[in-house]
Amino acid sequence: MIWLVAIGVAAGVLGGLLGVGGGVLFVPGLVIVVGLTQHQAEGTSLLAIVPVALVGALSQDRYGNVRRGDALLVGVLSIAGVAGGVALANALSGAALRVAFAALILLIAAQLVRRALREDGRGEGRETGRESKSADPQRREQP
Protein backbone atom coordinates (compact mmCIF):
# COMPACT_ATOMS: atom_id res chain seq x y z
CA MET A 1 0.00 0.00 0.00
CA ILE A 2 2.88 2.34 0.84
CA TRP A 3 4.26 1.60 -2.61
CA LEU A 4 1.02 2.54 -4.31
CA VAL A 5 0.94 5.89 -2.54
CA ALA A 6 4.63 6.43 -3.30
CA ILE A 7 4.08 5.74 -6.99
CA GLY A 8 1.18 8.17 -7.00
CA VAL A 9 3.07 10.99 -5.31
CA ALA A 10 6.24 10.49 -7.38
CA ALA A 11 4.34 10.33 -10.65
CA GLY A 12 2.30 13.37 -9.64
CA VAL A 13 5.32 15.50 -8.76
CA LEU A 14 7.11 14.59 -11.98
CA GLY A 15 3.96 15.15 -14.00
CA GLY A 16 3.46 18.58 -12.48
CA LEU A 17 7.10 19.49 -12.98
CA LEU A 18 7.52 18.23 -16.51
CA GLY A 19 4.04 18.23 -17.98
CA VAL A 20 4.23 14.51 -18.61
CA GLY A 21 1.04 12.60 -17.89
CA GLY A 22 0.91 10.34 -14.87
CA GLY A 23 0.17 7.20 -16.86
CA VAL A 24 3.68 7.07 -18.23
CA LEU A 25 4.87 6.39 -14.67
CA PHE A 26 1.79 4.71 -13.22
CA VAL A 27 1.99 1.79 -15.63
CA PRO A 28 5.66 0.81 -15.15
CA GLY A 29 5.33 1.46 -11.42
CA LEU A 30 2.35 -0.86 -11.15
CA VAL A 31 4.12 -3.57 -13.15
CA ILE A 32 7.62 -3.34 -11.70
CA VAL A 33 6.93 -2.34 -8.09
CA VAL A 34 3.45 -3.72 -7.40
CA GLY A 35 3.62 -6.76 -9.68
CA LEU A 36 0.43 -6.27 -11.69
CA THR A 37 0.33 -7.66 -15.21
CA GLN A 38 0.76 -5.16 -18.04
CA HIS A 39 -2.98 -5.34 -18.79
CA GLN A 40 -3.99 -4.81 -15.17
CA ALA A 41 -1.48 -1.97 -14.81
CA GLU A 42 -2.89 -0.19 -17.85
CA GLY A 43 -6.49 -0.53 -16.70
CA THR A 44 -5.64 0.57 -13.17
CA SER A 45 -3.52 3.46 -14.44
CA LEU A 46 -6.50 4.76 -16.43
CA LEU A 47 -8.59 4.92 -13.27
CA ALA A 48 -5.77 6.64 -11.39
CA ILE A 49 -5.48 9.27 -14.15
CA VAL A 50 -9.07 10.48 -13.72
CA PRO A 51 -8.66 12.39 -10.42
CA VAL A 52 -5.30 13.78 -11.54
CA ALA A 53 -6.65 15.08 -14.84
CA LEU A 54 -9.79 16.38 -13.15
CA VAL A 55 -7.93 18.50 -10.61
CA GLY A 56 -5.46 19.62 -13.28
CA ALA A 57 -8.27 20.65 -15.62
CA LEU A 58 -10.11 22.56 -12.89
CA SER A 59 -6.99 24.47 -11.93
CA GLN A 60 -6.14 25.23 -15.59
CA ASP A 61 -9.71 26.35 -16.13
CA ARG A 62 -9.29 28.99 -13.44
CA TYR A 63 -6.46 30.46 -15.50
CA GLY A 64 -8.66 30.42 -18.57
CA ASN A 65 -6.55 27.73 -20.24
CA VAL A 66 -9.38 25.30 -21.01
CA ARG A 67 -11.44 25.67 -24.16
CA ARG A 68 -14.40 23.81 -22.77
CA GLY A 69 -16.29 23.18 -26.00
CA ASP A 70 -13.28 21.72 -27.76
CA ALA A 71 -12.31 19.67 -24.70
CA LEU A 72 -15.79 18.21 -24.48
CA LEU A 73 -15.82 17.35 -28.19
CA VAL A 74 -12.42 15.67 -28.07
CA GLY A 75 -13.34 13.84 -24.87
CA VAL A 76 -16.76 12.60 -25.89
CA LEU A 77 -15.74 11.76 -29.45
CA SER A 78 -12.84 9.67 -28.20
CA ILE A 79 -15.20 6.84 -27.32
CA ALA A 80 -14.78 4.85 -30.55
CA GLY A 81 -11.01 5.20 -30.38
CA VAL A 82 -11.03 4.18 -26.73
CA ALA A 83 -13.06 1.07 -27.44
CA GLY A 84 -10.72 0.16 -30.31
CA GLY A 85 -7.58 0.83 -28.30
CA VAL A 86 -8.71 -1.20 -25.29
CA ALA A 87 -9.83 -4.07 -27.53
CA LEU A 88 -6.46 -3.99 -29.29
CA ALA A 89 -4.60 -3.98 -25.96
CA ASN A 90 -6.60 -6.99 -24.79
CA ALA A 91 -6.01 -8.80 -28.06
CA LEU A 92 -2.25 -8.52 -27.54
CA SER A 93 -0.28 -10.78 -25.21
CA GLY A 94 1.17 -9.28 -22.05
CA ALA A 95 4.66 -9.58 -23.52
CA ALA A 96 3.73 -7.80 -26.75
CA LEU A 97 1.99 -5.04 -24.85
CA ARG A 98 5.00 -4.62 -22.54
CA VAL A 99 7.32 -4.26 -25.53
CA ALA A 100 5.02 -1.69 -27.14
CA PHE A 101 4.79 0.24 -23.90
CA ALA A 102 8.56 0.12 -23.43
CA ALA A 103 8.94 1.59 -26.91
CA LEU A 104 6.50 4.36 -26.00
CA ILE A 105 8.34 5.41 -22.86
CA LEU A 106 11.67 5.31 -24.69
CA LEU A 107 10.21 7.76 -27.21
CA ILE A 108 8.97 9.99 -24.42
CA ALA A 109 12.39 9.82 -22.77
CA ALA A 110 14.01 10.90 -26.04
CA GLN A 111 11.55 13.75 -26.35
CA LEU A 112 12.33 14.92 -22.81
CA VAL A 113 16.05 14.86 -23.47
CA ARG A 114 15.63 16.79 -26.70
CA ARG A 115 13.46 19.38 -25.00
CA ALA A 116 15.86 19.71 -22.07
CA LEU A 117 18.80 20.25 -24.41
CA ARG A 118 16.84 22.76 -26.46
CA GLU A 119 15.82 24.71 -23.38
CA ASP A 120 19.49 24.95 -22.58
CA GLY A 121 19.67 26.88 -25.87
CA ARG A 122 23.22 28.19 -25.86
CA GLY A 123 24.68 24.74 -25.57
CA GLU A 124 22.84 23.56 -28.66
CA GLY A 125 23.26 26.60 -30.85
CA ARG A 126 20.46 25.36 -33.04
CA GLU A 127 17.84 27.73 -31.75
CA THR A 128 18.96 31.10 -32.97
CA GLY A 129 17.76 34.65 -32.38
CA ARG A 130 15.15 35.05 -29.72
CA GLU A 131 16.37 32.06 -27.80
CA SER A 132 19.95 33.14 -27.43
CA LYS A 133 18.96 36.69 -26.53
CA SER A 134 17.34 35.78 -23.24
CA ALA A 135 19.80 35.03 -20.51
CA ASP A 136 17.20 33.03 -18.64
CA PRO A 137 15.41 30.38 -20.66
CA GLN A 138 12.50 30.49 -18.20
CA ARG A 139 11.64 34.00 -19.33
CA ARG A 140 10.13 32.55 -22.44
CA GLU A 141 7.34 31.16 -20.28
CA GLN A 142 5.96 34.55 -19.39
CA PRO A 143 3.08 35.78 -21.52
Distance in angstroms (rounded) separating the CA atoms of residues 118 and 105: 20
Q: Does 85 bind another protein (CB under 8 A)?
A: yes
Q: Does 87 bind another protein (CB under 8 A)?
A: yes
From the CB of residue 48, how many other CB atoms can be counted at a distance below 10 Å? 21
Q: Does 131 bind another protein (CB under 8 A)?
A: no
φ, ψ (nearest 5 deg) of residue 10: -60, -45
Helices (H), 92-142: 94-120, 130-133
Q: Does 17 bind another protein (CB under 8 A)?
A: yes
Size of the site for another protein (CB under 8 A): 100
Q: Does 127 bind another protein (CB under 8 A)?
A: no
Of 56 and 127, the one with the shorter C-beta distance to another protein is 56
Query: Which among 40, 30, 24, 41 is positioned nearest to 7, based on CA atoms?
Result: 30
Site string for another protein, 22-41 (x = CB under 8 A): xxxxxxxxxxx-x-x-xxxx
